[in-house]
Each structure stands twice: as structure tokens, then as C-alpha cells.
Amino acid sequence: MATARYVRLRLPVLGSRVGRVGDEDVVDVLDHDDPLAALAGVGEVALRVPLAEAELLPPVMAPEIWCAGVTYERSREARVEEARSEARTVYELVYDAERPELFLKDAAMRRTVGPGGTIRVRGDADWSVPEPELGIVLDGDGRAVAVTIGNDVSSRDIEGENPLYLPQAKVYAGACAIGPALAVPDDWDTPFALRMRIADGSGETLFAGETSTASMRRSLADLAAWVVRDNPLPAGSVLLTGTGLVPEDGYTLLPGHRVEIEIDGIGTLVNTVGA
């Protein structure tokens, strides 16, 4: 679990601010909009607002968002199943390799939305899925300072056709969401429980599942060390650590579907698929 949670919110007149979520889900709004400074204890409380009434923004304006792939056995199985060529062996190899799969998902939040934002699927894809992931927030020295929730929306048919199409399967408008909060773990070695529910426009459940970061092939510290190896990241960058929840092969995201991703200690990230 987490010792502290921070959110960014939009307020009338004041604009965007960062705040610490206290007891009874009341936000102590600080006098600035710098989440990393808030994590370091900088800022004075300007006012208090109920979390339920707050207009939440992405918890950090990440200059870069990176993703790690094939970090769970379920992810490896899904990638092998979707592959339409002999290249399927690359997924089996990377799962056991020392070096993880890492790729740049977004920069400057151009393709990323926050809590309640609209995620999207590619117009030239027929099989798209959400990928619920624990996100690590890094400081300017590459150290993990907080966690959040991420949704690495992906086109399984495009990547399955050829692994070299991964950037097109992963990087496009509305392909990522983060939020609703930043949390500071009590113990970075304690696993996080993840749950995902997908519903249609009427609220009917289309998929529901759960997993834990205890099932990850790699540790959070290992992934964080790899992403900054010979690759300095701007402070506030986010690393999404892979997914262990993959809907059945017959499911694809469609406009109007609602994706809810919950991680204990952080909250629930909710997004709707746009047309």
C-alpha cells in the first residue's frame, strides 16, 4: 500500500494545482502545480476540496512515457498466440533474456489522456485491447519516486502481423492513459494487485480480470535501471511495466466501451473509447 497519494486537479480561477489526498478523500490543494516538488514535501496548503468533486488531470505531465513488454507470462502467451509469422519466437526469447523489451510510448503527453479522458483505437486496426499496467514515475536521476496506473492501448493484429510494426501498434493518437493519482509505496517490494473491467455503453461487463505484480518476470528496480541505461530521462517520465491481463481473443475495443483499471493504493483509472 501507499503512504501518500497526490493528484492534479483543475480549479476555478486558480487553474491546475497539485494536492495531497488526505483522510476521508479530502484533497489538501497546494500552492503550485509541480507533482515532483509535492512528493518532496514542497508547498503550502492553499485550500481543501472533496476528491469526489475535483476535476482530475493527468497526475504528472510526463515528458516521456516508456513501456516494458513481455514482463508477465500471460503477456508472453498472448504475443505468441497473436503472431502470424515465425517471428513469434522473439517473444519467447525476450521473456527469459536479461535485456527487457523497452519502447517509447509517448513524449510531451501528445498521445496520452488522464482520468476520464477519451482513449482511441487505430482506424486501420481490427483487434485492439487495453493493457492495464503499473507505472513507475522517475526523477531526474532515474530513481523511482512514485507509482501510477497506465493503460497501454494496443493493436494486436498490427503487431501480430510483424513485430517490426510494434511502433504503429502502440503509438498513435489516444493510445495511452495515466492516472488518477501518484502514490508513494510504503515498501517498493510489496506486490500491487491490479484489476480491470471493460463494459459496453449500457454498463454490461465484457471482460473482468485481476492479477498482481508478484507475477512479473522482472522486478520494478530492474526495469527502472534498464530504461535509464545510457538513456537519461527527463524528471517526471513514466515507465509502464507491462501487463498480465489480456482479454480473450474474441474481444476488441469499440467506441463507447468503458475501461476501468484499479490498483490497490492508487485508485481507479477510468476511460471511455472514442469514435
What confidence tens digit (pLDDT) does each residue in 3-35 have? 799 999 999 999 999 999 998 899 999 999 999
Cell for 50? 472533496
**Please, which residues have CB within 8 angstroms of residue 111's CB and are 6 or more apart in sequence?**
105, 171, 172, 173, 174, 175, 176
* C-alpha triplet 96, 148, 83: angle, nearest 5°: 35
Which residue, chain included where needed, has cell 471482460?
Answer: 207
The overall average pLDDT reported for the chain is 94
pLDDT digits (tens, 9 = 90+) for 60-115: 999 999 999 999 986 667 666 766 666 667 888 888 899 999 999 999 999 999 99
Measured CA distances, 80 to 75, 85, 169, 171 (Å): 9, 10, 16, 21
Q: Residue with C-alpha cell 493493436?
A: 155
User: DSSP state, 117?
Assistant: P
Q: Which residues contact 193 (CB under 8 A, 6 or more apart)?
A: 210, 211, 212, 263, 264
Spatial distance between the Cα atoms of 118 and 273, rounded to a whole number of angstroms: 6
Q: What is the mean pLDDT of residues 200-204?
A: 96
pLDDT of residue 92: 82
Domains of the chain: 2-57 (no CATH), 64-273 (3.90.850.10)
pLDDT of residue 75: 66
Distances, alpha carbon 122 to alpha carbons 107, 108, 114, 158, 186, in Å: 18, 20, 19, 10, 39
**Alpha-helical segments (H) within the chain:** 35-39, 73-82, 89-96, 156-161, 166-170, 220-227
Query: Does residue 100 contact residue 231 with C-beta atoms inside 8 Å?
Result: no
Q: What is the pLDDT of residue 23?
A: 87
Residue 229 in this model has a pLDDT that exceeds 90:
yes
Q: What is the per-residue pLDDT for 275?
A: 81
pLDDT at 83: 64
pTM over the 0.85 mark:
yes
Distance CA 262, CA 178 (A): 12
Q: Which amino acid is at 25?
A: D
